[in-house]
């Protein structure tokens, strides 16, 4: 079951969902709009290596916007800190943003129960696109879980700002 907008708002008030800051005007019929934070990361090297740590460049979004290029992957973040120890959150790009040619969070929309933090957003434009800090970029839905809950305790817990891939660390841990 998916939570309705009024149930999302009630669950925030009851402490079952964390959305901070929370604004009632961002509640939709069955989701909550999240805004783009003010920082992006972009990988510096032309080739990204899954088995190595990859250097990144930090980009602060100016108020007058920043143009994303289609040949780059940008890691952004939600302005809001979002999480739940009760519900399963899923984040998707807003359809109005998709209609501008921006893919948001295509490969990893599901959040783990117990994760609390700013969500990293994978941003991929199909053509040059100017984006702005604070723009409504995605929407989070919450689903009722079934069964025993094992809370998330992973490497991205309490994330602030965009988080680059730490996939290479998993490989190192498996080898040791």
3-state SS class at 19 = strand
Spatial neighbors of 173 by CB under 8 A, at least 6 apart, are none
**Mean pLDDT score of the chain:** 94
Predicted confidence at residue 167, as pLDDT, reads 84
- Between residues 161 and 64, which one has the greater pLDDT? 64
3-state SS class at 120 = strand
Predicted confidence at residue 173, as pLDDT, reads 67
Mean predicted confidence (pLDDT) in 122-142: 97
- Does the pLDDT value for residue 172 go beyond 80? no
CA distances from 174 to 39, 89, 103, 163, 167 (A): 32, 28, 32, 21, 11
| Tokens matching residue 110 | 């599901």
List phi, psi (to 5°) of 133: -65, 140
- Does the pLDDT value for residue 54 go beyond 70? yes
Alpha helices in 32-166 (DSSP H): 95-98
**What is d(CA 33, CA 105) in angstroms, rounded to the nearest whole number?**
14
- Does the pLDDT value for residue 168 go beyond 90? no
The class level of CATH for 5-175 reads: mainly beta
Spatial neighbors of 79 by CB under 8 A, at least 6 apart, are 21, 34, 35, 36, 37, 38, 118, 133, 134
- Does the pLDDT value for residue 174 go beyond 80? no
Query: Which residues, listed in sequence order, are joined to residue 78 by a DSSP beta bridge?
Result: 36
Task: Please write down the long-range contacts of 27-31, taking CB distance under 8 Å and 24 or more positions apart.
Answer: 28/139, 29/4, 29/5, 30/2, 30/3, 30/4, 30/5, 30/141, 31/5, 31/139, 31/140, 31/141
Predicted confidence at residue 152, as pLDDT, reads 92
3-state SS class at 166 = coil
> Tens digits of per-residue pLDDT, 15-32?
999 999 999 999 999 999
pLDDT tier for residue 155 given thresholds of 50, 70 and 90: confident
> Tens digits of per-residue pLDDT, 62-119?
999 999 999 999 999 999 999 999 999 999 999 999 999 999 976 678 899 999 999 9
Predicted confidence at residue 175, as pLDDT, reads 67
- Integer-rounded Cα Rg, in Å, for the chain is 17
């Amino acid at each position: 079951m998916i939570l309705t907008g009024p149930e999302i708002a009630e669950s925030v008030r009851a402490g079952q969902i964390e959305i901070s800051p929370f604004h009632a005007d961002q509640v939709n019929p069955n989701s909550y709009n999240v805004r783009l934070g003010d920082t992006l990361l972009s990988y510096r090297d032309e080739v990204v290596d899954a088995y190595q740590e990859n250097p990144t460049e930090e980009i602060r979004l100016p108020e007058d916007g920043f143009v994303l290029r289609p040949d780059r992957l940008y890691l952004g973040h939600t302005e809001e800190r979002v999480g739940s120890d009760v519900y399963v959150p899923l984040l998707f790009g807003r359809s109005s943003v998709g209609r501008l040619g921006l893919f948001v969070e295509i490969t990893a929309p599901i959040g783990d129960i117990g994760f609390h933090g700013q969500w990293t957003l994978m941003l991929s434009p199909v053509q040059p696109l100017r984006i702005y800090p604070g723009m409504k970029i995605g929407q989070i839905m919450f689903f009722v879980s079934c069964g025993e809950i094992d809370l998330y305790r992973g490497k991205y817990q309490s994330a602030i700002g965009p988080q680059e891939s730490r996939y290479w660390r998993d490989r190192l841990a498996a080898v040791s």
